[in-house]
Structure 1
Amino acid sequence: MHDVVIVGAGPVGLSLACELGLAGCSVLVLERETGPGSPQKTAPLGIRGLSAASVEAFYRRGLLSPLLTASGAQDDLFGAQPEADEPPRPRFGGHFAGMMLDGAKVDVDAFPYRLPSPGLHAVRTHLEAVEAVLSEQAVKLGVEIRRGVTVTAVAQSPEGVTAHAGPDTYEARWLVGCDGGRSTVRRLAGFEFIGTEPQFTGYVMHATLADPQGLRPGFNLTPTGMYIRMPDMGYFGMMDFDGGAFDRSRQPTRDHLQTVLRRVSGTDVTLDEVHTASSFTDRAMQTTTYRQGRVLLAGDAAHIHSPLGGQGLNAGLGDAMNLGWKLAATVRGHAPEGLLDTYTGERHPIGAAVLDWSRAQVTVMNPGPHAQAVQAVVRDLIGTRDGTTYMFERLSGAWIRYDLGGDHPLVGGSAPEFRLEDGTRLGDLMEDGRGVALDFSPDRRLQVPALGWEGRIRYAAGTAGDDLGLGAVLVRPDGVVAWAGDRHPDRDAFERAARRWFGSPAI
């Protein structure tokens, strides 16, 4: 029996497998596709944007450099150096409902706890690169990946879960569905899935135009929808407000795509050749809980929405980082009571907010004079310093903060990249998936090794180049600040926080 069976070998399932593997769990990943390759995963259709929050997660596991290499994006760190005195300004190409944002207008003073780090910027990559890096890491950690396996039934007992795939059965103590928007696990385990129906059919295609000068490059919001053209790679995207009438099960033909492109763009351009194409909608749905007994969901299996703003992959990776260490602690038997339930408690509101962010963009893009009037207002707002800063906060992931209690504004948010006087960085300390206690206090009063959490919390003491006025910080394995103390931190308060997130000490 495995500790955990994960259904789905996409980025979310593989990321979760890596987190569990770091903790020494026995993990089996089941994937219905027979091989990892697909035209939908490579450029241009497989292109995705990783938010700064996701890039930071790769960095903290030592996987950012391999990811950049696999993505052909070695320069996407934008020169960000942890040794620099100041974090670099955001270099930013995001959009809201097709309206582009200017990173030069971001008010960096609105983020007073940013420190120099390689993980401060978004990175453009593609799904094949993400999956290749995570697959290699998972295998190194002892994770078993079986492809060509379609799960057809799931049965729970008080002791574990059995996944059936034809004549084969796979037993585990826990099962996690990471099998996408049409999740079989979600259906078989009886999760309630609620939300809103689509307003548009979207299309992405790799194609060539007979008259390329007829379409403007970039994002183009029009009176009848939106189209995207990336001429350097032959990528086109379209949003056609037909109420989602085009059935995704049908393969779009060249004639159909040309008709839609002409309608949305308001031109008479001609598609010369369509190499690959697929469709999607803005249907926005979410499960009411992310856990049913010993079955959990992550990524698109738990929440679906339109890909506007590139939030889906990033939300799924955030789910995996949040769930991984909690499920591992539960498997290993040292999780404090209720720890696994905080997964739904913390991530469900994030998923709901992402769905609303998608719905807001769809509303603004909707054809007609009312939506166009709203577009004019939004354009004015995002042209301001405060408006751009707000958008940057949402698109970068900087807005994500869990309600963990505590008075310090850092608690519940992502930890800054503290750097000790010996050159050790927080990212260096987090590669093995443990929590981290940083002790900047003059008398080094935390003394974590003597308190009994040494196997779960890595202790590092010393003077920091910039300690942001703190005396100590406790960081969860997912990079979230669990507790922060002043210049003379209260060790009792630290112990309470450590017990809350890491269970009783071993001694």
Structure 2
Amino acid sequence: MDTDVIIVGAGPTGLMLAGELRLGGVRVVVTERLAEPTGQSRGLGFTARAMEIFDQRGLLPRFGALEKSPLGHFGGVQFDYTVLEDSHFGARGVPQSQTEAVLEEWSVELGADLRRGWELQALADGEDGVLATLDTPDGVQQLRAAYLVGCDGGHSTVRRAAGFDFPGTPATRDMYLADVVGCGLRPRFLGERLPNGMVMAAPLKENVDRIIVCEHGTPAGDRAEAPDFEEVADAWQRITGESIHGGGADWVSSFSDATRQASEYRRGHVLLAGDAAHIHLPAGGQGLSTGVQDAANLGWKLAAAVQGWAPAGLLDSYHSERHAVGARLLMNTRAQGTVFLGGEESDPLRQLLTELLAYDDVKRHLSGIVSGLDIRYEVGDPEHALSGRRIPPRGLRTALGPTSTTELLHSGQGVLLVLDQDGPAGTAGGLSAAAESWKGRVAVTVAAPEDPGAFGGAAALLVRPDGYVAWVGDRPDDPAGLDDALHRWFGAPAGLEPTP
């Protein structure tokens, strides 16, 4: 093997996955067809759950000061997301180019091998791994790896080459996205619906505005090239009656309301993540964030498979857990599109949604969907409220000083957190002994929570490397069920794992 894993695509999903795999100790080559980053920033931030993912790997300081927005929307109807604990609409105003730069720096620091100007031409999945044929600056080259992951976007070459099905609904309209310069636009943060369509405008920096243009009656096309500024300016004038032809654009792109999801996220030694696995209307900035979460879910499982300690079914749980999340993403973005982009026929629906959002339960439900905070995996005993959910970001006191639940996850290992309510100087007792055989995969920490009610009375938590709680203990001296959870998520004890 030339490497353990080949990742095709150096966007946020591919770079996040590269870092996760390096934390798991496997060799990674990331191939990217573009010789240099474009600098274009379709995404302008990330959701609350993606922010937690970055925090658990210690990445948030690299972004500098982040602005969290308590107010968000669903289908253009604004409401306060903080009605749900730990929720917010996300970090705003972070260009995707900055997110990619942060993730590239991190993954390369960890040892990922990033090769720009390498474009996948073909792949062959065999019994022992994958052979990838790539066009490179030095001619056609081949790489052999145990696994290959397509993180190469909505038009994924990997998805087509490996024969993945991609069912869904085709595009019904084309829309424009651009960063325009010198147009003097007034803000339209949540969009303005007019007889001929909908437009949005938000200032990015002095003299530069991000605009979205959705014109009614525009047929869906299969564009080989991005539209030019003149085409966008014409559509803007038809909708608003205003001319922006005297300005220009830093960049222009188009998108559609096509909604598709791969029917499986894994075929043999080939897997899909991010937009390669699911495409949808970009409502609420959920695409980048969902891809980052795909990577966090897949990374440690794929590393375990390469290292040889993955228990049966662990790698396949990537599909079972994330496919359901992807399907829910497609559902909510289609619903938002119906509310947001429809004409007069959608007015009653908008009115009804506005009335429903007067109720806190509705706010909690919708903010949970968009933020990703409502995700709950089937990990075993569902009785405890934390079981299958992400461990909440909370402060802790240990014998070595203050820490937090997110800081415990920086290394990418699992964590057995023993919650000593009397103080941080206690011991893990029988729980520590039960987890000793998984040392190197699971770190044991004894801590007192800063907020005694932070974990619903739990005495101990087994947390997966992606931050999700896999086991909840009710008593600090009772390891009942812990051994089964350790085997399910972390394989056989060290030294007893099967040969890969």
Q: TM-score w.r.t. structure 1 length?
A: 0.88
CA deviation profile, 1:268-325 (whole Å, cap 9, x unmatched): 4343222221111010011100001000010011111111111111111111000000
Matches within 5 A, 1:66-77: 66=62, 68-69=63-64, 74-76=65-67
Match of 1:98 in 2: 76
Structure 1 counterpart of 2:40: 40
Q: Paired residue for 1:427? A: 406
C-alpha separation in 1, matches of 2:43 and 2:165: 31
Which residue of 111, 116, 126 corresponds with 1:142? 111
Tell me the equivalent position of 1:303: 278
Q: Deviations over 1:208-260 (max 9, x none)?
A: 466646x7555223344321111453221112233642443243234422332
Confirm whether residue 395 of structure 1 aligns to residue 361 of structure 2. Answer: no
1:123 aligns with 2:91: yes
| 8 A contact 2:427–2:446 mirrored in 1 | no
Task: Return the offset for 1:492.
Answer: 3.0
Q: Could you say which residue in structure 1 is the equivalent of 2:303?
A: 328
On the 8 A contact 1:6/1:176 being kept in 2, the answer is yes
Partner of 2:56: 60
Count of residues paired in the alignment: 472
- Aligned residue identity for 1:478: D
- 8 Å CA contact 2:434–2:479 kept in 1: the answer is no
Contact preservation (8 Å) 1:98, 1:226: no
Matched, 1:274 2:248: yes
Please report how far the alpha carbon of residue 338 of structure 1 lies from its aligned counterpart in structure 2 after TM superposition: 0.9
Match of 1:162 among 113, 131, 148: 131
Q: 1:268 to 1:498 in 2, by over 3 A?
A: same
Distance 1:6 1:251, change over 3 A: closer
Sequence identity (%): 39
Equivalents in 2 of 1:205, 1:120: separation in Å?
A: 26
Pick the structure with more strand per residue: 2
**1:87 aligned residue:** none
CA distance in 2, matches of 1:268, 1:65: 41
Equivalent-residue separation in structure 1 for 2:457 and 2:148 (angstroms): 43
- C-alpha deviation, 1:120, in angstroms: 6.7
In structure 2, distance between residues paired with 1:221 and 1:414: 38
**8 Å Cα contact 1:99/1:221 also seen in 2:** no
Query: Stretches of 4+ moved more than 4 A in 1?
Result: 208-211, 215-218
Question: TM-score, normalising length from structure 2?
Answer: 0.89
SS at match of 1:49: strand
CA contact (8 A) 1:192 1:287 kept: yes
Tell me, in whole angstroms, the C-alpha distance in 1 between the residues paired with 2:185 and 2:432: 66
1:497 aligned partner? 485
Q: CA deviation at 1:450?
A: 5.8
How many angstroms apart in 1 are the aligned matches of 2:419 and 2:34? 49
Judged with a 3 Å threshold, the aligned counterparts in structure 2 of structure 1 residues 316 and 481 are, in CA distance, closer, same or farther, namely same
Aligned counterparts of 1:356 and 1:28: Cα–Cα separation in 2: 34
Decide which moves more: 150-159 or 368-377.
368-377
Aligned partner of residue 462 in structure 1, secondary structure:
strand
Amino acid at match of 1:34: A
Quick one: which of 173, 176, 184 aligns to 1:203? Answer: 176
Distance 2:89 2:44 in 1: 14
Which region of structure 1 is more displaced relative to structure 2, 50-59 or 356-365?
Answer: 356-365
Paired residues for 1:162-241 under 5 Å: 162-166=131-135, 167-208=140-181, 212=185, 216=188, 218-231=190-203, 232=205, 233-241=208-216
Deviation at 1:174, TM superposition (A): 0.6
Q: How far apart are residue 380 of structure 1 and its match?
A: 1.8
Per the alignment, residue 414 of structure 1 pairs with 390
Structure 2 residue 321 is matched with structure 1 residue 346: yes
Equivalent-residue separation in structure 2 for 1:264 and 1:389 (angstroms): 35
- CA gap of 1:248–1:490, structure 2 versus 1, over 3 A, is farther
Check if 1:484 corresponds to 2:475. Answer: no
SS across alignment from 1:173:
strand
1:357-399 deviation digits (Å, cap 9, x = unpaired): 1111121234443211111111222244333332222222111
| SS of the residue 1:309 aligns to | coil
Residues 269, 381 of structure 1: alpha-carbon distance in 2 compared, 3 angstrom cutoff: farther
Deviates most, 286-295 or 219-228: 219-228
Matches within 5 A, 1:10-25: 10-25=11-26
CA contact (8 A) 1:94 1:395 kept: no
Q: 1:160 deviation in Å?
A: 0.9
- The CA deviation at 1:75 is 4.4
The alignment partner of 1:328 has SS state of helix
Query: For each residue in 1:15-61, what CA deviation from the matched residue of structure 2 results, as whole angstroms up to 9, or x when unmatched?
Result: 0000000111011111100012x1423xxxx4422111111111111
SS of residue in 2 equivalent to 1:371: helix
Seen in structure 2, the aligned counterparts of structure 1 residues 384 and 430 have a Cα distance that, compared at 3 Å, is: same
Equivalent in the alignment of 2:439: 454
**1:255 and 1:383, CA in 2 relative to 1: closer, same or farther beyond 3 A?**
farther
Is the Cα contact below 8 Å between 2:149 and 2:271 reproduced in 1? yes
Deviation of 1:126 (Å) = 1.3
Q: Structure 2: how far apart are the matches of 1:500 and 1:221?
A: 51
Cα 1:489–1:219 change in 2 (3 A) is farther
| 1:123 Cα deviation after fit | 1.0
**In 2: Cα distance, 1:459 partner to 1:334 partner:** 19
3-state DSSP class of the match of 1:446? helix
Shift of residue 157, structure 1, vs aligned partner: 1.2
SS in 2 for 1:313: helix
* Matched residue type, 1:128: S
Tell me if structure 2 keeps the 8 A contact 1:228–1:237. yes
- Report the alpha carbon displacement of residue 335 of structure 1 after superposing the two structures with TM: 0.6
Q: Give the direction of change, closer, same or farther, for the CA distance of 1:293–1:394 in structure 2 (3 Å limit).
A: same
Q: CA RMSD in A?
A: 2.2
Contact 2:6 2:149 in 1 (8 A): yes
Asked whether the 8 Å contact 1:211–1:269 carries over to 2, the reply is: no
Letter paired with 1:430: L
- Mapped contact 1:440–1:470 kept (Cα < 8 A): yes
Runs of at least 5 residues in structure 2 that lack an aligned partner in the other structure: 421-425, 496-500
What is the aligned partner in structure 2 of residue 81 from structure 1?
A: none
Structure 1 distance, partners of 2:406, 2:25, is 20
SS in 1 for 2:252: strand
